[in-house]
Amino acid sequence: MKNEEHILSAEKPERFFFRVSADDFRKISGSPIAYWVSNNVRGLFSNEETFESAFVIKAGMCTGKNEVFILSWPEVEFDLIRKYLDKRYDYVPHNKGGEFRKWMGNLDAVLKYSKVHLHEMQKNLGFRHDGKEYYFQEHVGWSKITSSTSSFRFYPEGFSFDSAGLALFSNDKNSLYDALGFLNSKISAMLIQLLNPTLNVTPQILKKLPLIRVNSEHRAKYITLFEQSKADWDSYETSWDFTYLPLLQSDYRHSTLKATYNGLRAHWRDMTLEMQRLEEENNRIFIDAYGLKDELTPEVPLSEITLTCNPHYRYSNNKNAEELEVLLLADTMKEFVSYAVGCMFGRYSLDKPGLILANQGETIEDYWNHVRAYQNLPTANCPLPTDSIFLPDVDNVIPILDGDWFTDDISERFSKFLRLTFGDEHYEENLKFIEVALGKNIRKYFLKDFYNDHVRRYKKRPIYWLFSSSKGSFNALIYMHRYRSDTVSVVLNYLREFRIKLTTQKNHIEAVSISASASPGEKTKALKEIESIRKIIEELDSYEREILYPLATEQLEIDLDDGVKVNYQKFGPALRKIPGLDSKED
């Protein structure tokens, strides 16, 4: 009787049995109990060439204390990251695996790897320096632990790798691209699940994969898939190769923000569909090569096209098309707002691509020097057209308040940013477009949602820190890389000035409440406002007396090498609480 046939039980017809010889199990390396696979699939494991014979496959570093030695790259001084092999470094880009993303991405971690750091790391229980002879070589990497299908990415030279971010090496870059194409195919997904249906995809699993070479002319497809994925990854500020926000690039610019977004959205849609076409073609190539045309189809659902600009991948797959578009538009406007705030602090600039101020203690003068150098202006005394550029905040403190109490608060600064980027003519239309997408006016968004979005964007390692009183009546944002020991004092000065303005307002309303010309309704309203302001002033007094003033006298220093987790908690209740930040786990 054939292995594929099942025999129904006469007494219990709902049960059936498969009969497979022990020799058939042994054909698959490791002899997994996989009775359902076809002879074609079993035959693949008789192939002479395997991934183990063609590639070096390794697990990497185990620091023993990831929360100390592996940081998010925006936390640290950018100039100390070893992105180029001839540069002094304290940190190296680190492959630690990450979420489901194919071809390129998850380049968000750095490893402390100076001699001093390594010496400290070696003291940790559980420290292992596995794979060190392969550090900084280009490789294909993946996450050891996965909740479903594995995803594989190309990592260029300069990366270390992790015990949870595994790596495959070859002396031939073309072979790495070929491996990447196969590993991101349906064939690979099926074979990996067959070899180990658990959540761990170890080097031992990949070593067992049968390797069948395909025509090298297909390599251009793998490279294109990588390049498209890289272009997508670098379009967001969480990439260290981010240069300009796509909404501000000339390729998509129109007179209004709505038209600009629609043009960009059309580009994203085309890009996603092209990726889908290429991935399906990639599947077809390997399905043919491995002789499984009768068992697998090449189709790839949009939810598995791992581009951030693709809402089917970015958001839950149980949402309809309209819901996905609403989410994508809202997040794109949030990214526009976030970039504007980056320009407010000098992290970015409308006058120079990429990062500007991204090292500890950098100043406004450093900012101007970067811009002048980019624009080929010869001397520091050369004047800049300040009426046509967006100036960063001088004191690194930007108030966020419910009302226009300061001319330089975050809402006013954003208004200027929007006017400079999309002009005065359509300003009201553009602002309305943003506010409709956000579901609230811009001031309310900054007050209620901006910081939560920032914390999510930077995965609980925010680079902008929010000083906030107990009930949020006073808020001020700072940029951690520009923090100085007197920054808390500057925040305190803003709080005191705000309290003076509130007291003046309260005195004015009190005059209304006792005015003979005021109506009973006006007096009642005035009394309510007086009570509201009184409570806010009490809140500010308590925040200053118990928290902010004592902190200002300490003149705390921070060291970016300690990361956000350590530095943020030094400020205790002065800063908005981030749930989970005080967890001992990374």
> Is a pLDDT exceeding 90 seen at residue 397?
yes
Confidence of residue 517 (pLDDT cuts 50, 70, 90): confident
| Lookup: tokens for 34 | 């996989």
User: Are β-strands 152-155 and 109-112 bridged in parallel, bridged antiparallel, or unpaired?
Assistant: unpaired
CB 281 within 8 A of CB 299: no
User: 3-state DSSP call for residue 102?
Assistant: coil
> Is a pLDDT exceeding 50 seen at residue 471?
yes
Confidence of residue 235 (pLDDT cuts 50, 70, 90): very high
The whole-number pLDDT of residue 537 equals 97
Whose CA is closest to 537, among 571, 573, 501, 513? 501
Percent of the chain with pLDDT over 70: 91
Mean model confidence pLDDT for the chain: 90
Confidence of residue 350 (pLDDT cuts 50, 70, 90): very high
Higher pLDDT: 43 or 263? It is: 263
Enumerate residues 6+ apart whose C-beta is below 8 A from 405: 399, 498, 501
Residue range 411-435: mean pLDDT, rounded:
97
Q: What's the per-residue H, E or C state across 461-529?
A: CCCEEEEECCCCCCEEEEEHHHCCCCHHHHHHHHHHHHHHHHHHHHHHHHHHHCCCCCCHHHHHHHHHH
Residue range 119-123: mean pLDDT, rounded:
95
Confidence of residue 29 (pLDDT cuts 50, 70, 90): low
The whole-number pLDDT of residue 516 equals 77
Confidence of residue 79 (pLDDT cuts 50, 70, 90): very high
